Structure 1
Amino acid sequence: MATTPTATNFTVFGIDISRYQGNEINFLNRQVDKLTFIICKATEGITYTDSSFKTNWPAIQEKGYVRGAYHFYHCKDDPAKQVANYLGVMGKFSDTDFPPIVDFEETSIDAGVNKANIQTNLLSFLTQLAQKTGRKPLIYTDNNTANAYLTDPAFASYDLWIADYNKTVTVPTVWKSKTWTFWQQTQNYKLNGQLNDYDVFNGDTDAFANFIKSS
């Protein structure tokens, strides 16, 4: 059984998972839970791979969900080496997968990092990902982090996955003219007794299919 989502006026929704959900993927059933997509953690920094990725990634596709995988970005680590870690684990993206996803949040700002270089390095990371995959990355962030560190207008060219646990979304300043593409509404969506992050897409099924195809 699933708890009621924060908002129900969306037709395309999913969850994002990592090792913290254990073997939850084994118990998910699209005919029952009605999820359209599942996003899993792949990598972090320059060496880390999520211990559940090897199981989650193929299983998401086998169970009929649209799949995505994200890299948790660390400002202290070299952008090119982070790209190499992520793509070394991911391999080739399918046309039916999400584009590359970068997770940039408060804990991405490592102690002692030169804050003057944060945006330049992150943009380099995003550019390299796009060049190597032929897909334009999706950025996951929250308002506080984005408004403090993602102030370069160049970030607006990337689709936004916003974490905002209020009843309505507040879009970070850089994306005001573009709005959000995905909204993480809550961290407390329960499926089969397991808590999950719950995400909705800003559009209908046709718009979602076009997003996957064109991004």
Structure 2
Amino acid sequence: MISRRSMLAGGLALPALAGCGGQPTTQPTAYSPGQTRPGLDAVIDISHNVTVTSFAAVRRSNILAVIHKVTEGGDWFDPSYTSRRRQAEAAGLLWGGYHFGTRQYSGEQQAASFLSACQPGPQTVMALDLEPNDANPRNTMRLDQAEAFVLAVQKATGRLPMLYSHPAWADGEIYGRRRISLGASIRPGSLLARCDLWLADYRETPRLPNAWATRGWKLWQYVADETSQNFAFGSEPRHVEGVGHCDRNMYNGDVASLNRWWKNGGRG
């Protein structure tokens, strides 16, 4: 994902998360062209930092759905969200919105800001981005704030948002040189664990957080392209017509399943 403060994309720095014994995890390796991945490669996520020239071209690139940043914290609103939603839906794309969680506002306040800007309809998939705030680690969302956010969204819409996270972060492991963490792991059976998982992991075989060990992921962000310069880096073709760069996501199912799940607002 992309924070307005840091151009951080979806946990790009997260391979530095400490694994067992406090050692850094292995650097992710790029997929080779033609390598098979599980699921359907048909979902992208973007923010105002991404140039969009044509959502019709995005759709022609076999992309079925777009998830756009809506809000960050309790006081910042993505200026591109509303106009791009109209354009994307007119092009036949499924639409979703995500919130980048921070610490300086309560979970309830952040949910209110998100919902006021997202204006979720019955077919809008919603998500909470729960990850380290690299630009300002002290402003990283706490576990209790994430739970409050999810509960507020559920009460307002009758639906749980997806939870976007890296497996090491969700499991409460230590992150980076500043050694920050969620403070505890997300527990199996908890409110957060009831959310569908949007997994961020750029290794060939993604690791599941413990709380989703039996459920698996709904979306898997297998590559993040936070700048147009990085977009061309590596051996894997990532280009999507109509956008300057984007994060790519697998859906855990087929086209029919994706359409059913999305048009039900991310339920079922």
* Bin for the TM-score computed over the shorter chain: 0.7 to 0.9
Counterparts of residues 13-24 of structure 1 (less than 5 Å): 13-24=42-53
Give me the CA root mean square deviation. Answer: 2.6
Please tell me whether the aligned partners of residues 111 and 152 of structure 2 are also in contact (alpha carbons under 8 angstroms): yes
In structure 1, distance between residues paired with 2:134 and 2:144: 15
Task: Report percent identity of matched pairs.
Answer: 23
Amino acid at match of 2:133: T
Quickly say closer, same or farther: Cα 1:111–1:199, change in 2 above 3 A.
Answer: closer
2:261 to 192, 211, 215: 211
What are structure 2's unaligned runs of at least 5 residues?
1-32, 173-181, 226-237
Post-superposition CA distance 1:143-185 (Å, at most 9, x none): 2211113423312211000011111211111111111110011
Amino acid at match of 2:39: F
TM-score (norm 1): 0.86
Greater Cα offset, 171-180 or 6-15: 6-15
Alignment-derived partner of residue 37 in structure 1: 65
Please tell me whether the aligned partners of residues 58 and 240 of structure 2 are also in contact (alpha carbons under 8 angstroms): no
In structure 2, distance between residues paired with 1:208 and 1:6: 22
In structure 1, distance between residues paired with 2:75 and 2:162: 21
1:61 to 78, 83, 89: 89
Alignment-derived partner of residue 172 in structure 1: 209
Quickly say closer, same or farther: Cα 1:25–1:80, change in 2 above 3 A.
Answer: farther
What are structure 1's unaligned runs of at least 5 residues?
none
Q: How many residues align?
A: 208
Please tell me whether the aligned partners of residues 17 and 196 of structure 1 are also in contact (alpha carbons under 8 angstroms): yes
Quickly say closer, same or farther: Cα 1:43–1:174, change in 2 above 3 A.
Answer: same
2:152 to 113, 128, 131: 128
**Aligned-residue offset at 1:8:** 5.3
1:97 to 124, 128, 140: 124
Quickly say closer, same or farther: Cα 1:5–1:165, change in 2 above 3 A.
Answer: farther
Alignment-derived partner of residue 80 in structure 1: 108
In structure 2, distance between residues paired with 1:38 and 1:29: 9
Quickly say closer, same or farther: Cα 1:85–1:172, change in 2 above 3 A.
Answer: same
Please tell me whether the aligned partners of residues 12 and 36 of structure 1 are also in contact (alpha carbons under 8 angstroms): no
Aligned to 1:71, what secondary structure does the other structure show?
A: strand
Quickly say closer, same or farther: Cα 1:207–1:191, change in 2 above 3 A.
Answer: closer
**Aligned-residue offset at 1:61:** 0.7
Structure showing the higher strand proportion among its residues: 1
Alignment-derived partner of residue 229 in structure 2: none
**Aligned-residue offset at 1:10:** 3.3
Amino acid at match of 2:211: V
Please tell me whether the aligned partners of residues 130 and 146 of structure 2 are also in contact (alpha carbons under 8 angstroms): no
Amino acid at match of 1:159: D
Aligned to 1:13, what secondary structure does the other structure show?
A: strand
Aligned to 2:43, what secondary structure does the other structure show?
A: strand
In structure 2, distance between residues paired with 1:170 and 1:101: 20
**Aligned-residue offset at 1:96:** 2.3
In structure 1, distance between residues paired with 2:94 and 2:49: 21
Amino acid at match of 2:254: D
